[in-house]
A = this chain, B = another copy of it.
Amino acid sequence: MNQEQKLVLAKLIRQQRWAALATVDAEGQPLAAMVAYAFNEDSSAFYIHVSQLSQHTKHMLAQPRISLVIGEPDIGGGDPQTLPRVSIGGVVEVLQRDSEAYLRAKAKYLNRLPDSEQLFGFGDFILFQLIPESLRFVGGFAQAHSLSAKTLAECSKLSLGE
């Protein structure tokens, strides 16, 4: 994966906030659902804040192995299959409310999603941490790369010239 592709990946993760989650139910059937996400400095953890009333939350509590796909939105012209996207596979764990890890993650989350602050006051919401294990980045048509969490960490350090 060249430097240009790494920049595309870094920009993708930083610019988006809304992604799709794949979970499995008790029968092993998949569910795709939309979730907001945030992440820490080196992208070694992603944060998802969801209600226990949602199916995907119940799935994650029972089967913590999930996949999250972050994609650049389609603007409605051209072929969307050329748009960059990354699938992040890994395991989620619940951050215990008001633990240090929870408060750090909450701060990261609210920095990106300030309008969702009230949800942290709701008793049914859980803050999950996803630790990336396997990543598949598609930088454009027929430009797919498998990458490690280490490469993702390198990408997270790149300056986007913002």
Contact = CB atoms under 8 A, between A and B. Distances in A.
Interface string A1-37: 0000000000000011111111110001111111010
A83 interface: yes
Interface stretch (A65-73, A98-106, A148-156): A65-73
B69 A34 contact: yes
Interface string A87-126: 1010000000000000000000000010110010000000
A76 B17 contact: yes
A18 B116 contact: no
Interface string A55-79: 1000000000111110101101011
Contacts of A140: none
B115 A79 contact: yes
A6 to B, nearest CB: 19
Contacts of A29: 24, 65, 67, 89
A36 B71 CA distance: 12
19 contacts: A15-B76, A17-B74, A17-B76, A18-B80, A21-B22, A22-B30, A22-B67, A24-B30, A29-B89, A30-B30, A30-B66, A32-B66, A32-B87, A34-B83, A34-B138, A36-B79, A36-B80, A81-B116, A81-B119
Given A24-B30, A78-B115, 16 more contacts: A18-B83, A21-B32, A24-B24, A24-B28, A30-B66, A31-B87, A31-B89, A32-B32, A32-B69, A33-B69, A34-B71, A34-B85, A36-B79, A55-B136, A73-B73, A81-B119
